[in-house]
Structure formats: structure tokens, C-alpha cells
Amino acid sequence: MSPRDPGPTRAAVLLSASQLLESGGPEAVTLRAVGEAAGVSRSAAYRHFDDKAALLSELARLTLTEMAESIRAAAIDTDSRVNLRLGSGAYVDYALQNPHHYQLIFGETPLSAPTPELEAAADEAMAALQHLIERAQTAGQLGGGAPRELATVLWVLLHGIAALQITGHLHEPRTLDGDTRLNELLDLALASFRPVE
């Protein structure tokens, strides 16, 4: 029906790789294991992707697109400051619920040269954050300044929280459980984010 069916094998390979990644981490994603889980041989993936890096790059693109959608879907409050918090929370939540996928995008970068498609997906996520900033600025609830630059600062902040939490560097104080601790850190970070002017 669709102009070009991506083919069941390609879809099965991507799905298997995604499941293996989140359940067993990056070292579980071998082409042998992917092939077995998808019911094909270990070299079948090469008929649909240039190499392993290209397969992972496509997986990263899909993840980034889903993440951007998750941010947009969460930011539904009428108060723009609440909205900023909801969208930011969605970003961090998504990262923590899919840590290995998140690390695939923002981690050690095994994706050598980022493809234009991957950059486009990253821009989409960035646009979702920038939209949060612009709405808050319009409502006068956030200082002035170039929205693009402020969105970058917000991104830097959210990525810092997500990345340090995933890699286990945000472990204290131990008196609070992880979720509470993280929400309080996000609250403090956003409350301290007050662009001048």
C-alpha cells in the first residue's frame, strides 16, 4: 500500500535492536543477537543498513522523534510557567525511562558522522524546548533574550540532569528516593533559571 514498504525484515531488525538495547544495554546489541531475535541470520541486517552504526543511527532518530513528541504532549497547561515545568519533566522522564536509548543519542557518540536525518530529529526536539521558552516569554513569565539561546541553556540544564542521573553521579543525599530527589533538583534548577532583563 505505502509507496515503499520498508520490509518486514528491516522493521523486525530495528525492533529487536531496540528491545535488546533497553533490556541489556549497548553490549547486548550484537548483530548476532539482533538477527536471532528477528528470526534472520546475523548478516541479514547488512541488506538494509550500511553497517551497525547506521542501524543505531536510525534507532537514535526514531527515539529523538518520539522524545520530541513526548515533550509536546506533556506541555498542555494554560499557565506557561507550569508548562515549562511539564515539558522539562517530560524530557527528563523520557530519558530516565529509556536510559540506553538516551545514551545512544547523547552518549559516547558511536554514530561517527551524524546523518542529516538525525540532525533534523534533534532540531525537532530543540524546537519543542524553544517553544516552551517562547510561550513563557510571551506571557511575561521569563526574562527577555534570544529564545534560541535560552532554549540552548534549558537544554544544557535538562541534559545535565538526565545524563548525571543515568550515569549514577547524582546519588546524594541518600535520605530521599531517586524520584523525589530528581524532581526537587529539577524544581531548583528551573527556579534558579532566571534570565536577566
Q: Cα(195)–Cα(158) distance, rounded to whole angstroms?
A: 16
Which of a second copy, DNA, none does 188 bind, CB closer than 5 to 8 A by kind? a second copy
Which of a second copy, DNA, none does 31 bind, CB closer than 5 to 8 A by kind? DNA
Give CA separation, 175 vs 10, 32, 162, in Å. 47, 43, 20
Sign of CA dihedral 143, 147, 153, 155: positive
Least distance to a second copy from the beta carbon of 197, Å?
Answer: 10
Q: Which of 164, 176, 178, 179 binds a second copy (CB under 8 A)?
A: 164
149: contact with a second copy by CB under 8 A: yes
What's the first-to-final CA gap in the chain, in angstroms?
Answer: 55
Which of positions 59-88 make contact with a second copy (CB under 8 A)? Answer: none
Point out which residues bind DNA (CB under 7 A): 7-9, 29-33, 35, 40-44, 46-48, 51-53
175: contact with a second copy by CB under 8 A: no
Q: Cα(169)–Cα(175) distance, rounded to whole angstroms?
A: 16
Least distance to DNA from the beta carbon of 15, Å?
Answer: 14
